[in-house]
Structure 1
Amino acid sequence: MEGVSDTEPLALEAAPTSRRRRKRSLVWEHFTIETVSDGCTKALCKQCNQSFAYSTGKKIAGTSHLKRHITVGSCSKLRQEKRQLALTSGSKTDGNSTDPPKRRYRWRTSLNFDQDRSCMDLAKMIIMQEYPLHMVEHTAFKTFIQGLQPQFKMPNHEAIEKEILGIYNKEKQSLTQLFGTIPGRVCLSIGLWTTSQTLGYVSVTGHFIDNDWKLHSRVLNFSMVSSPHSENALSDVIGLCLSDWNIKSKLFTITLDNNCSSHDIYSANLRDHLSNKNTLTLKGQLFVVRCYAHLLNVAAQDVIASIHGIIYNIRESLKYVKASLVREERFAEIVQQLEIPCTRPLSLDVQSHWDTTYLMLAGALEFRHAFAYLETCDPHYNEAPSPDDWKKVDTVCTYLKLLYDSANVIMGAADPTANMYFHEAWKIHLELANAAVGEDGTVCSVAKEMHEKFDKYWKDCSLVLAIAVVMDPRFKMKFVEFAFSKLYGEDAGRYIKVVDDGIHALFDEYITHRFHWCQFMKTTRGT
């Protein structure tokens, strides 16, 4: 018995090593395996006797290089046989031919297909790319998907709609839980749209920082309202959103993207509603934040509208010059003859984008003498602006450049923060205030209208922007004192005190809020 017990384990261990996996690849119809040395074998082509590495010790090579040898024409014998067959007849090879048939090898396909996962991936694609739901019923799309994965059963638009709603509800639940864990507050931004059918839409986006100091921006609500430009409609949408997400006590600021005339109505209504519950920071002093980019856009559009007739002539002049290669060459000759330095290109604008209109005006302004000369020598051209018109364009470009440079600073930053806006806003506010009281009537009329819009923005946002600058260790309170002294002169002390009091009050609120938050976390964790 002892002898049997000693030898049986040896037999059991040796048995697996003697078993060899059956070679199923079709390449072995054309190759044989020969042993070169101990533990080393090579694959030998039956046609041309060329050898290829196959195994070295326990490492076994694949068969891809063997497939390539017999399919891409590397084997000399197979190439010779193909030539002979091509010379003798154009018919297909018979079954006795050693030439391997084309597309004979089958590649292993994925066996992990999941219908439910694929439907979810399709729904996410539709969400992210904003595709129409009915695309799942488009014949070409269904044919494309069937070619990729025949096992996939395309859902109809009702099924994909349910899938999207399921994703939405899951994400909403996750975001609601996240709102309950963040120690800070949430900022809202409001977007208003009116379609060509006069349908109004309101979007509410939440901006907040999580426990890992990562900034999040999530669309919280997007709904259609009968009249989005009425104060009750907007207040109702915002109030419903705050209640739905349970963030009324976490609201910090709200940024409204609307025209200047109705902004005060919106802000006053909603501020009063929330201040009665003592939910706003500093009793609502920081509640209103107006969109700086929207302010630049409105101010620029108003300036452009003041010379819309001149802009029309300049736009038509550019179209005339660029209408043919001959005209472009003729205009270039005039520019060279007048020795005009070309620092800006001539480009047509996109009328809905004010920055492109500014670039068009600035470029055309440098070639004003060339346009005047072209009118004298080309009887078909009569759109050149007059010298007085060019003077107005020069004035407009001066102030559009202020807006353009400011927009580039803000939009050019990868992550623009609140302290950046103060530097841009106070400089433009000061420049416009000085120009509005100047002696040039044309300059005053343009600057005065722009100054009124910036003054409204400054009154609502200067406190929150100044506090952001104070928090910047590079500037602190000293820079606010410097800027206010330029803006307000002898009255600067009164405005500086408002910022100083706001900083201290904000700190006191933070201490109180932090204490209550720590107590809440201790209770939640059971410590």
Structure 2
Amino acid sequence: MVDLEVEEQEGSRGSPGTEEEREQEPTNEDSDTSKKRKTTSDVWAHFTRKKVEGKVKAQCHHCGKLYLGDSTQGTTHLRNHLARCPRMKFKDIRQQVLIKQQNKVDGTMSLSNYQFDQARVRNKLARMVILHEYPLSMVDHIGFKEFVTDLQSMFKLVTRNTLKSDIFKIYDNEREKALKITDKNGSRMAITTDMWTSINKKRGFMVITAHFIDHAWTLQSRVLRFVYVPSPHTKDVLADVLVDCFLEWNIDRKLSTITVDNCSTNDAMIRLLLNKFDTSSLMLGGSMLHIRCAAHILNLIVQDGLSLIGDGIERIRDSVIYWTRSPKRRQKFEENARQLRIQCTKELVLDCKTRWNSTYLMLSTALIYKDVFSRLAKRETSYTCLPYDHD
């Protein structure tokens, strides 16, 4: 503790003393003290104390220059040299030390050397974009550039095209790993697949996922393909996409089941697949290949029941659309909810018609604001889709 206080006092003195004081030869007592005292400043990781012509000097490890090194001289001048040392790999002394939390019971801290790696940080940036689905254009944003520069000035921020290239490299690397895993896997694989339509371009995509038990009896899942499927989505087109995927991953002889939505197109697609595969490699000659998605069947059952109150649901859906269409309407709705002292912070949410659970969430939230809809109907003449009481 004493050493730390002494070192802080030395650093706060700023630049070395007068010329006369600097040239003064240190006494034996000073010399002994400098030898015994433990140097706590991180500066001394880059300097070595030595006596030159009877004076204590600090020699830079990088360029070999000598500076005043007596304990009474402080360390500010040494830090200033490190900031502009031509032979020093890292310009900022703060980048030399990284404090890491060690996995110790007492939670003590320890110091370890830190070396900046441009390639490693680029990889982390690409993985961050993948994980959180950030837009590639974020590397062009001024705020992000300023943040990165202040955080790590040595990192050279990449362009969006380079970032895109880094992401593809990660994809190729992970794909190679997945190929090796599926190659070594000795068990059969259960396939789940579904179609997905993008909102903005209205294009259809197919997702194909494999599930299997590895050698350690652990359930593993791997997305094999996320691929654009051209229209029309006929049985032949869907079957061709699946066959190409199975052959690419060399799992056509390892299939156990294929789970798909319960629709006539998928039924016809499975029949086509059975004609394309060697049925002797399938379980029970392929009689167990087709599995109908239980979640989809449940959704069909619930949707059939909801059709009995379909008109009421439509009025509630139209009301939610009306009051969430613009920020001004949403604000007006929230103000009326506060005036009626409704203690709820949930926002109105629009459902997806084909997913019963999202319809349930929409209805349960709208029910809380039942009185708000009635109040606003008396004040807003353009609001004409007020649900009835029995709705």
Q: TM-score range by the shorter chain?
A: 0.5 to 0.7
Tell me the equivalent position of 1:214: 218
- Aligned counterpart, 2:204: 200
- Is 1:324–2:336 an aligned residue pair? yes
Q: Post-superposition shift, 1:241?
A: 0.8
Instruction: Please name the residue that 1:229 is paired with.
Output: 233
Q: Distance in 2 between matches of 1:317 and 1:198?
A: 26
**TM-score when normalising by structure 1:** 0.45
Say which structure is richer in strand.
2
Number of the residue aligned with 1:256: 260
Q: How does 1:342-353 map to 2 (within 5 A)?
A: 350-352=350-352
In 2, the alpha carbon distance for the partners of 1:266 and 1:327 equals: 57
**What secondary structure sits across from 1:109 in the alignment?**
helix
Equivalent residue runs for 1:116-135 within 5 Å: 116-135=119-138
- Distance change >3 Å, CA 357–CA 200, structure 1 → 2: closer
Q: C-alpha offsets along residues 137-195 of structure 1, whole Å, 9 cap, x if unaligned?
A: 33332222122111112222332222222222222222211112222111111121223
Q: 2:9 aligns with which of 12, 20, 27?
A: 27
The residue aligned with 2:95 is 109
> Is the counterpart of residue 267 in structure 1 residue 270 in structure 2?
yes
Letter aligned with residue 132 of structure 1: P
Q: Give the structure 2 partner of residue 397 of structure 1.
A: none
Match of residue 247 from structure 2: 243
Query: Which residue in 2 is equivalent to 1:299?
Result: 301
Root-mean-square deviation (CA), in Å? 4.5
Q: Quick check: which one's helix share is greater?
A: 1
Q: CA deviation at 1:383?
A: 5.2
2: CA distance, partners of 1:316 / 1:117:
50
Aligned pairs (5 A) from 1:6-155: 25=7, 27-28=9-10, 62=40, 108-110=94-96, 111-155=114-158
Amino acid at match of 1:271: L
Change (3 A) 1:202 1:153: same
User: Residue type matched to 1:239 in 2?
Assistant: V
1:309/1:122 Cα in 2 relative to 1: closer, same or farther (>3 Å)? same
How far apart, in 2, do the equivalents of 1:326 and 1:130 lie? Answer: 35
- Residue in 2 that maps onto 1:161: 164
Cα distance in 2 for residues equivalent to 1:223 and 1:208? 21
**1:38-71 Cα distance to aligned partner (Å, 9 max, x none):** xxxxxxxxxxxxxxxxx9xx9969579xxxxxxx
Per mean C-alpha deviation after superposition, the further-off stretch among 167-176 and 309-318 is 309-318
- Higher mean displacement: 355-364 or 197-206: 355-364
**CA distance change for structure 1 residues 29 and 219 in 2, over 3 Å: closer, same or farther?**
closer
Maintained 8 Å contact 1:322/1:328: no
**Equivalent AA in structure 2 for residue 109 of structure 1:** Q
Q: What is the one-letter code of the residue matched to 2:283? A: T
Aligned partners of 1:201 and 1:224 also within 8 Å: yes
Point out where structure 2 has 5 or more consecutive residues left out of the alignment: 1-5, 14-32, 43-74, 81-91, 97-113, 324-331
Conserved? CA contact 1:347–1:359, under 8 Å: no
For each residue in 1:390-445, what CA deviation from the matched residue of structure 2 results, as whole angstroms up to 9, or x when unmatched?
Answer: 5xx7xxxxxxxxxxxxxxxxxxxxxxxxxxxxxxxxxxxxxxxxxxxxxxxxxxxx
Query: 1:281 matched to which residue of 2?
Result: 283
Give the Cα separation in 1 of the matches to 2:351 and 2:226.
28
**1:200 & 1:265 partners in 2: Cα distance?**
19
Q: Cα–Cα, structure 1 residues 107 and 231, in superposed 2: closer, same or farther, change >3 Å?
A: same
AA at the equivalent of 1:308 = G
- Structure 1 runs (4+) deviating above 6 angstroms are 315-323, 362-368, 378-382
Q: Tell me, yes or no, if the aligned pair for 2:315 and 2:386 is still in contact at 8 Å.
A: yes
In the alignment, the residues of structure 2 paired with residue 150 and residue 170 of structure 1 have an alpha-carbon distance, to the nearest angstrom, of 29
**Alpha-carbon distance, 1:315 to partner:** 6.2
C-alpha displacement of 1:243 = 0.9
Query: 1:187·1:254 contact (CA, 8 Å) conserved in 2?
Result: yes
Q: Give the whole-Å Cα distance in 1 for the aligned partners of 2:319 and 2:176.
A: 58
Unaligned segments of structure 1, at least 5 residues: 1-23, 32-54, 65-99, 333-345, 394-527
Q: Match of 2:168, as an amino acid?
A: L
Q: Report the CA distance shift for 1:29/1:227 in structure 2 as closer, same or farther (over 3 A).
A: closer
Q: Is the 8 A contact 1:186 1:251 kept in 2?
A: yes
Q: State the shift of 1:221 in Å.
A: 0.8
TM-score (norm 2): 0.59
> What secondary structure is seen at the aligned counterpart in 2 of 1:254?
strand
Alpha carbons of 1:29 and 1:115: their partners in 2 closer, same or farther (altered >3 Å)? closer
**Residues 195 and 204 in structure 2, CA contact (< 8 A), matched pair in contact too:** yes
Taking the aligned partners of 1:305 and 1:195, their CA distance within structure 2 comes to: 26
**Post-superposition offset of 1:202:** 1.1
C-alpha distance in 1 between matches for 2:193 and 2:256: 14
Q: CA deviation at 1:239?
A: 0.7
Aligned to 1:310: 312
Tell me if the contact between 2:118 and 2:155 (Cα under 8 Å) persists in the aligned partners.
yes
Separation of aligned partners in 2, 1:301 and 1:292: 14
Deviation by residue 1:310-355 (Cα, 9 ceiling, x = unmatched) = 22445689989987259847x99xxxxxxxxxxxxx9966322533
Amino acid paired to 1:28: E
Could you say which structure has the larger radius of gyration? 1
